[in-house]
Amino acid sequence: MARRALTTTATVLTTTAALLLTACGGGDDKQDDIKGADTGSTSPSASASASQASGIKRPDIKLPGEFQLTFDGWTSGDAVEQAVLDDAKEQLRAGYAAIIADEPDGGDALAFYDTASGLSQDRQWIKTYTSKNLTVFGKLPAYDPEFTLLGDKKTRAVVSYCTDESKAYTRNRATKEVQGNPAGTDPKVFYTVTLAKNADGVWQNVSTRGKRGGC
């Protein structure tokens, strides 16, 4: 139930599928996409956009209270770095919002934060849940972000971070069956995300790679 990644475009999608397939009895657990699950309150948590570029109308992304996707240490005194971190956070929130809303195509918010290749990957990741009628709940912290500017140091960047799936789960919408990672599976996954700044000033996801146990 995590987010796994392959190389290049397939990276994001494969990573996502890995955890989910492992939890359901298939796939490998070396690369994984994000997961989350646990029953709790249903009060929505609003999208955080405090330091994002002004003048850009951004999607309002809401997640239910039973899925707590948190970001520890995702702050910086550098304005460019903070803008990249903010958009990377919102892209991840948009992906999980699509899973929870049962939107296999990702919805408008994910399209806003993804390039064409990134959206193609993420749709594959999301469908590893929606095709099995699964949603996610629980607590999924994303922590220890690291930031690097690439090329001209103005339009491309890489953000890496870890997630801990110890308290994140999937739930079948029809049967209500809950699953987590199989016993003995490392709950921590290391992600590397490549982003590109578009003409509107939004840092969009180009690709994602994930490695279970890489934290």
Query: pLDDT tens across 88-103, in order?
Result: 999 999 999 999 999 9
> Which whole number is the average pLDDT over 141-159?
95
The CA distance from 116 to 171, in Å, is 29
Q: Is the pLDDT of residue 53 over 80?
A: no
What residues have CB less than 8 Å from 86, skipping those under 6 apart? 48, 49, 50, 51, 52, 74
For residue 55, what pLDDT band results from cuts at 50, 70 and 90? confident
pLDDT higher at 105 or 14: 105
CATH 3.10.450.50 fits 8-212, yes or no: yes
Predicted local confidence at residue 3, as pLDDT = 61
